[in-house]
Amino acid sequence: MLTNASKIDKSTPVPLYFQLKKLIMEEIRNGTYKVGSLIPTEKELSDTFQISRTTVRQAVTELVQEGWLYRIKSKGTFVSQPKISQDFIKKLESFNDQILRAGMTPSTEVLKLEVQKAGAKTAASLELKGKDSVIYLHRKRLANDEPIVTIETFLPYDDCSFILSHDLEKERLYSILNERKETSVFRVNRIVEAVEADSRDEQYLDIKKGKPIQFFTSTGYNAYGKPIEYSLARYRGDRNSFEITVFPDNSR
């Protein structure tokens, strides 16, 4: 049961469901409720705090929607694995650096590395001709040996063939590209979509088909405005959250 059960204050204007929600979050953070553990039932929480089950249900539902908890039919509500907060959207930072900052150990598996002819969409994104060659790099990135994202990267062969001599499981792609000014990534355009996991996600990301995937399409440009990298990244929706900073439009 909650260790801070006495902290619900019915005399304040703060909604009771919100107070309960914060208390449960505190118990998850301090380790009272461990990942995978069952939390008290709606009735138990209602009886403990002398609040309605409707109020309890609202608090728990919001925690499920925000990824703190998950429900299993006929079994109860459990504590979720915390999501990894990513700055991928708003700044150029390596996956390794972000995972290390989260206190976890990053690793990479190269699923495929080959030279192939550019497809129509890849050629258009990299401003190549249809018959031009590209380097195709398919990687799985992990945190504490748990798969987090798969990335398919296409690089113009004529500009980037030198990366083939590097160990892409141990070396960072952007660090390699930054060795040369003409391939150094200066800016990146990204588009994000919510899609459902498919059979390849099930295979590589250990997530069931139909579950949410955060799908990013990225094009990286050098300082001269030439596209150097075209990537398709598929992040597990249950293990990642992305932070965006928005500034007001002062022209309005």
What are the structural domains, with CATH classification, of the chain? 5-79 (1.10.10.10), 84-242 (3.40.1410.10)
User: How confident is the model at residue 234, as a pLDDT?
Assistant: 93
Residue found under tokens 């500034």? 247
Confidence label for 7 from pLDDT (cuts 50, 70 and 90): confident
Phi-psi region of 50 (alpha: psi -120 to 50; beta: other; left: phi over 0): left
In tens, the pLDDT along 56-90 reads 999 999 888 777 888 888 889 988 876 655 554 44
User: How confident is the model at residue 2, as a pLDDT?
Assistant: 58
Q: Is the pLDDT of residue 203 over 80?
A: yes
User: How confident is the model at residue 30, as a pLDDT?
Assistant: 81
State the pTM of this model. Answer: 0.64
Q: What is d(CA 192, CA 89) in angstroms, rounded to the nearest whole number?
A: 9
In tens, the pLDDT along 115-161 reads 999 999 999 999 998 789 999 999 999 988 888 899 999 999 999 99
Phi, psi of 229 (to 5 degrees): -140, 135
User: How confident is the model at residue 112, as a pLDDT?
Assistant: 97
Q: Which positions ≥6 away from 126 have C-beta within 8 Å? A: 118, 134, 154, 155, 156, 219, 227, 228, 230
Which residues lie across from 121 on neighbouring strands?
none
